[in-house]
Structure 1
Amino acid sequence: MLFYLIAILVIVMDQLSKYLIRANIDINETFSLWGIPLTHIENSGMAGGLFQGYARFFAVVAVLFVIGVLYFRKTEEMKGALIDSSFGFLVGGAIGNGIDRLLFGQVTDFIIRSGGILNLADHAIEIGGLLLIIYGVVSWLKSKAIDSLKNGDQ
């Protein structure tokens, strides 16, 4: 349930924020919200503006990624709140940006950060990736501890 809750929350917040930006801020207009600088741009490529014009291709990649995660979750090899949260952020972000790519042929970005201008879906993907790394490290440490106990090392 946590997976679906996070994914849906990410999609709703991402799409709502992008709608508000598109409806109220001109392209290339910069403004500040609560001290955070924001600039409305439209990106038909991927992160950092790479591969401009390939939005539809990246939409297909996002769909395949979501299908892969849903299939992987069915195998139930990885369980727990941490991995469910990770996958929820990753899938929510992929769907959020995928919607833009399919509907508009580009993604609305507006959050200025070192390294580029991003959106909430991009940040969700980063959070999901970080949680996935943490899950991997924790799982590795647990397996080492279990192996150590099985071998009588203490």
Structure 2
Amino acid sequence: MEDVHAQGRSGPRLRVARRDGWFLLLAAAIVGVDQLTKWAIRASIERGDAVEVLPFFRIVHVTNTGAAFGILQGAGPLLIVASLAGLAAIVVYLFNPGFAHPVVRLGLACMLGGAVGNLIDRVAEGRVVDFLKVPHWPAFNVADSAISIGVVILLWSMLFQDTERDRSSS
């Protein structure tokens, strides 16, 4: 498979090569698992109900019209626009040759899949389904988990990748 270029007035902008396929596959898998689990929750647990799995873990069916931790409740249109802007930034960075390190791209792929998963809910229903619940923490979902894991990977990369480069260049 050859490189695919999105052409604009100023020439190539986005470069997607064969080696990029696994990043897109990971993002698509996250979206698929996220949507499948949310469908299963909607189909099997009434909104507001909970099933205790372990003393410290429950499966719940709650919805959130806001952002993380319930902030910005009811701000759906703003959150959709912010999500689209975030997705655009992730895609630009994911396929930017300057950010070619696989660890950085892994974090971006996780964030891309999670953002798309929650955006689908927000556009289709005006709210996001959350269903994983541990004590003293708001309910969350697969997409939230993927975004959080992606952020941790990026932070780890920023903190330790430069240190590794500095050691190898001395």
**CA–CA separation in structure 1 for the residues paired with 2:113 and 2:53:** 24
**CA–CA separation in structure 1 for the residues paired with 2:76 and 2:54:** 31
Q: In the alignment, which residue of structure 1 is the partner of 2:164?
A: 142
After superposition, give the CA deviation of every residue in 1:9-49 in whole Å (9 maximum; x if it has no partner).
Answer: 11000000001111111111010347741110011001111
Number of residue equivalences:
148
Q: In the alignment, which residue of structure 2 is the partner of 1:106?
A: 127
After superposition, give the CA deviation of every residue in 1:39-70 in whole Å (9 maximum; x if it has no partner).
Answer: 10011001111111012321221111111111
Matched, 1:20 2:40: yes
**CA–CA separation in structure 2 for the residues paired with 1:130 and 1:85:** 11
**CA–CA separation in structure 2 for the residues paired with 1:47 and 1:27:** 19
Question: What is the percentage of aligned positions where both structures have the same residue?
Answer: 26
Whether the aligned pair in 2 keeps the contact of 1:2 and 1:85 (CA below 8 Å) is no
Whether the aligned pair in 2 keeps the contact of 1:2 and 1:88 (CA below 8 Å) is no
Q: In the alignment, which residue of structure 2 is the partner of 1:60?
A: 81
Letter in 2 for 1:95: V
**CA–CA separation in structure 1 for the residues paired with 2:85 and 2:167:** 35
TM-score (norm 2): 0.80
Counterpart among 115, 118, 141 of residue 97 in structure 1: 118
Whether the aligned pair in 1 keeps the contact of 2:94 and 2:109 (CA below 8 Å) is no
Q: In the alignment, which residue of structure 2 is the partner of 1:152?
A: none
Q: In the alignment, which residue of structure 1 is the partner of 2:65?
A: 44
Q: In the alignment, which residue of structure 1 is the partner of 2:18?
A: none
Higher helix content, 1 or 2 = 1
Q: In the alignment, which residue of structure 1 is the partner of 2:91?
A: 70
**CA–CA separation in structure 2 for the residues paired with 1:86 and 1:72:** 11
SS in 2 for 1:77: helix
**CA–CA separation in structure 1 for the residues paired with 2:92 and 2:152:** 21
**CA–CA separation in structure 2 for the residues paired with 1:95 and 1:121:** 8
Runs of 4 or more above 6 Å deviation: none
Q: CA deviation at 1:146?
A: 5.1
**CA–CA separation in structure 1 for the residues paired with 2:26 and 2:40:** 21
SS in 2 for 1:90: helix
After superposition, give the CA deviation of every residue in 1:74-117 in whole Å (9 maximum; x if it has no partner).
Answer: 33111132112101110100000011001100000010023210
**CA–CA separation in structure 2 for the residues paired with 1:34 and 1:5:** 32
1:113-152 aligned within 5 A: 113=134, 114-145=136-167, 149=170
Whether the aligned pair in 2 keeps the contact of 1:82 and 1:131 (CA below 8 Å) is yes
Whether the aligned pair in 1 keeps the contact of 2:27 and 2:110 (CA below 8 Å) is yes
Letter in 1 for 2:75: Y
Pick 1 or 2: higher relative contact order, CA cutoff 8 A, min separation 6: 1
